[in-house]
Amino acid sequence: MTLRLGDTAPDFEQDSSQGRIKFHEWLGDSWGVLFSHPADFTPVCTTELGLTAKLADEFEKRNVKTIALSVDTADSHQDWIKDINETQAASVGFPILADKDRTVSTLYDMIHPNASETVTVRSLFVIDPKKKVRLIITYPASTGRNFDEVLRVIDSLQLTDSHSVATPGNWKDGDDVVIVPSLKDEAVIKQKFPKGYKALRPYLRMTPQPNK
């Protein structure tokens, strides 16, 4: 199954390091980050899971739940979590799906046969409270993910969902944003953006971030 942006994230029921998980029920009204790992006790994944644990407060303040996946068993995950916590000075508080039968990996197209027929690539999905897929990033197995970028995109998605703006290249929370080209009524623009805007071109209007 190939997932695209805007698709409903497939629901599933699977074992995890924290027991049986029904994904949509577990997600509830939160945003979610689902990210896969080639296997337990792999070095790059160990650093990624430790980093995710350390960023728990950042995810929580954005109303984001994190959930990892590996194709090993829940018992193996428990032993691996001990290593993660010790080597990364972290405390893993999120579940790791035990996808031994590759059910979730197949649903989310995480196994790319030309890369490996048995282990997942480093896929990451951001899913909104309506269970829609909003971001898909796939890394090769050899390259660790940039979680600053994941948080940046979540900030952008949450901002642009609630305001008539888009975020420019390399945008970070607090930077100026772009008024969407479809918004043309000056009275509405003044109401929505009381700080004003700078029109570099008719289609390129920069304004201070409206929720700051």
Q: How many other C-beta atoms lie within 10 A of the C-beta of residue 53?
A: 20
Q: Which residues pair with 161 in a beta bridge?
A: none
- Catalytic one of 34, 45, 69, 165: 45
3-state secondary structure of 192: helix
| 45 catalytic per annotation | yes
**CA gyration radius, the chain:** 19
Q: Which residue from 146, 157, 139 is spatially nearest to 64, judged by alpha carbons?
A: 157
Is residue 86 within 8 Å of residue 54, measured between CB atoms?
no
45: its two tokens:
């994944």
Is residue 42 within 8 Å of residue 9, measured between CB atoms?
no
Q: What residues are annotated to the active site? A: 45
